[in-house]
Chains A and B, each alone.
Chain A
Amino acid sequence: MAGNDLPGALAGIRVVELAGEASAYAGLLLAGMGAGVIVVEPPGGHHSRGFEPFLDDEAGPERSLWWWHYNASKLGVTLDLDDEADRDRFRSLVGTADVVLESERPGRLADLGIDHDTLRADHPELIWVSLTPFGRTGPRAQEESIDLTVLAAGGPVWSCGYDDHAIPPQRGGGNQGYQTGSVFAVLSAQTALLARDRTGQGQFVDVSLHAAANVTTEFASVQWLVAGEEVQRQTGRHAAVEPTTFTRALSADGIDVNTGFPPRSARDFSAVVEWMESLGLKDQFEEFFFLEMGTRLEEDLHLSQVGQDPEVTAMFGAAREAVRFIAQNITAYDFFIGAQERGLAVGIIYSPEEVLGDPHFQQRGFPVEVEHEDLGRSFTYVGAPYIAPKSPYRVRHRAPHIGEHNSILEALA
């Protein structure tokens, strides 16, 4: 399904992307949807070619796996934007583009005479998406910023960490501050393209990483906006105004699982009883009696009764403990499958690389092989976020070498 080679949804759309840490993921997603993305680097290559990890841990501009991942499916050209002749080439290249994507510091491109304001008169249909830490005009627009500070200033960090508040709050891994901004940059480009279908006009879009993080915190913002209440971080669960109980268990093979919501219906209790019996764990679980009581419930347990009604409290507590007890006695994968097959929503806490071997991802064709003909090898990359049979999302080819497609520029001259 994911492997079909039909053109993508954005086939025929050209995106000119100025290489940047924050916008690289946006360009990757647009290229995956079929846009022709040309990433523009300085002559020696963009500095993110110096980012770890490296092929065989050896640094080198063509060996950065960071660059490989974020620039797959793109073509690459080099231009020295400090040089007037190259700026002319950039102007010509922009003249062929539907979308410009850039994450330059506010003011830099205006100083060089190659910003949207300067170029829009000649290209009224051009869509220009700018992705900057704080947007282009706010009072903090010139602050120094990286993924870590985006997530700290924007809210996500406050909600992530441990019950013990002597431990610093945590930044989730994987450049999620940059990527969240990039996701909104993609939505912006698509929205502007759909608007252009109707009006024929392009426009400028100002995307802010800080704003993107701020509106991506679920309860933390809404709880404050609506009720003036502050959520507090908790180990492995939602930050909340009132503390909640555990959802984590360590399985028999040392891998953590998320145990989900405890059983609350007679059907759920019956599933847990049957599961415990089939595993031969019934006799080792002292509160089994309360699970059996739960199988006779006529109405689902209500959370408001927990702590009030002694029987409900006992059943609810036993159910939660029973699920944890099962997890501790079997492997994480068996727990995940065993619970889900019984209609209980739980999760296995995979490390990123473990995802690729899971049957779900395998059957959906998620891991994809990308040919590196220059190395005579191919490598497995992460694939498509969704399956679109008529306009597939694809990782089309490896990231470009420095200046690999400079012939595109020659053709403009």
Chain B
Amino acid sequence: MKSEALSHIRICDFTGQLAGAGATRWMAAFGAEIIRVEDPVRLGKWDVLRGTSPFVDERRGHEFGGCFNNHNVEKLGITLNLRTDKGKELLAELIAECDAVTENFAAGVLERLGFGYERLREIKPDILYVSNCGFGHAGPYRKYKTWGPIVQACCGLTFTSGLPDMPSAGWGYSYMDHHGGNFMAMAIMAGLIHRSRTGEGQWIDMSCTDAGATMLGPAVLDYTVNGRPLRRDGMPYSNRSQFPAMAPHGIYEADGHDAWLALAARDERDWQAIAGLMGIDDRRFADLAGRLAHEDDLDDSVRAWTSTRDRFEATAELQAAGVPAAGVAKPVDRVDNDPNTEAWGLWPTVTHGEMGRVRVDGIPAHFSETDWVLERGGPLLGQHNRQILGGLLGYSDADLTDLAAEGVI
């Protein structure tokens, strides 16, 4: 069974890692035919995630990367050796059958392989080409290399996370690899919508760093309008809330090892509920201005209540009083013990050709008519050569045997 939402779309896909593969992952979940093209000589390891941890068991190698499987569910995989003329010929034949070509190589790599935008257009005049790299294909840094943490540093996101007078805590994962992929999916689908209306293809130049910088708008306006930079004494203080101002607003110690509780007062009603529950009676905290002026003391009062309580029991008490609160969830809490993620079906099990049955990230949207389907694991290297080169491009089994012998696939 497949989703019918995007079943009319076929993509020749060179993406990898998460910042690229995440884009076509979304589309594959909604039924688009995503054909991953990989290099048989290097065993597809341009995407290093093919062979890196986590692993389901003791087996290692290019078919066992847990993240690769997660990021490439429901995609097809073929191999083409683009060092060979025949490999290039096959790629051109494939592109002619596709709506879009997608990649997140370093800038210029696809062109050096002989498939820059001009060539793509020769093959298929209305092709949509979406490239995605850290700094894009235009601008002074186009040759620079990045991965998630570099992108996050250069777009301002890293700086926003942390405490005053401390180095940035930053994002403890490649947040912008996720959103690099998501914004790339946005760019691909925008390009496809434009193409379906006008018949026009184009080259969309996506830069992860630019996408990240769109995610900090109010802080930027505070500077461009009011002249107030975020790099200033006492800032950032990211567990507190400046935009909008709220107090209390924080992550507080709870009872237990590395146990924490997030809570906030959105308004005076929330504050009255918190103060009543916690028995806080201090006239300095009577209004928001007072609570902001004495926020350290306010946090101490809140902590005195939270620190002796189980984070989930305290959450339940606060929620019952109508206050936004949540225990800081560890992976086990939210993956295995959260009734809401279970009810959502958020961790579907896919079947991978070597790893077997593995749970993966689901999709955070449910569609009433054409919902996503995640059943098939990431493709083995060249797993769908016969389906695509045979079924779509018309090569016989004997041809494929020859192509393999010649080192083309």
Contacts and interface: CB of A to CB of B under 8 A. Distances in A.
Contacts of B231: 351, 353-354
Give the residue among A65, A345, A379 with the most B Cβ atoms within 10 A: A65
Interface stretch (B90-98, B218-226, B386-394, B397-405): B218-226
Given A156-B171, A347-B150, A352-B156, 8 more contacts: A168-B252, A184-B182, A224-B335, A230-B332, A345-B146, A352-B213, A359-B140, A364-B210
B13 to A, nearest CB: 17
Interface stretch (B74-82, B107-115, B342-350): B342-350
A346 B152 CA distance: 11
**Interface size classification for chain A:** 35 or more
Contact of B368 (A70, A172, A187, A205): A205
B1 interface: no
B149 A69 contact: no
Contacts of A391: 190-191, 194, 202
- Cβ-closest 8 pairs across A and B: A173-B160, A347-B153, A353-B223, A211-B364, A159-B172, A152-B262, A352-B156, A69-B217
A194 B100 CA distance: 14
B247 interface: no
Contact of B145 (A12, A194, A345): A345
B280 interface: no
Interface string A122-147: 00000000000011011111011110
Interface in B112-153: 135-136, 138-141, 143-153
Contact of A211 (B5, B168, B178, B341): B341
Contacts of B139: 359-360, 363-364
A187 B178 CA distance: 13
A66 B218 contact: yes
Given A134-B340, A222-B70, A235 B153 contact: no
B377 to A, nearest CB: 11
A159 B173 CA distance: 7
B266 A146 contact: yes
Interface string A367-404: 00000000000011111111111110100000000000
Given A153-B327, A195-B5, A390 B220 contact: no
Give the residue among A162, A174, A215, A390 with the most B Cβ atoms within 10 A: A174
Contacts of B325: 144, 149
B158 interface: yes
A160 B219 CA distance: 20
Give the residue among A29, A149, A221, A248 with the most B Cβ atoms within 10 A: A149
B248 to A, nearest CB: 11
Interface stretch (A53-61, A106-114, A288-296, A321-329): A53-61
Interface residues of B, number: 157
Nearest to B196: A197
Contacts of A359: 139-141
B44 interface: no
Interface stretch (A80-88, A236-244, A307-315): A236-244
A65 B5 CA distance: 37
Interface in A159-189: 159-162, 165, 167-176, 179-181, 183-188
A190 B189 contact: yes
Nearest to B204: A388
Nearest to A388: B204
Contacts of B8: 194, 197-198
A154 B327 CA distance: 10
B149 to A, nearest CB: 6
Interface in B220-268: 220-226, 228-231, 236, 238-239, 241-245, 249-253, 258, 260-264, 266
Contacts of A12: 197
Given A230-B332, A239-B173, A51 B243 contact: yes
A223 B225 contact: no
A208 to B, nearest CB: 5
B366 interface: yes
Contacts of A186: 186
A355 B214 CA distance: 11
Given A70-B217, A134-B340, A352-B213, A340 B168 contact: no
Give the residue among B229, B341, B346 with the most A Cβ atoms within 10 A: B341
Contact of B364 (A173, A214, A380): A214
B301 interface: no
B163 A382 contact: no
A10 interface: yes
Contact of B18 (A179, A218, A260): A218
Given A29-B186, A239-B172, A347-B153, A170 B219 contact: no
A160 B319 CA distance: 24
Contacts of A148: 239, 241, 249, 251, 262, 264, 324, 326
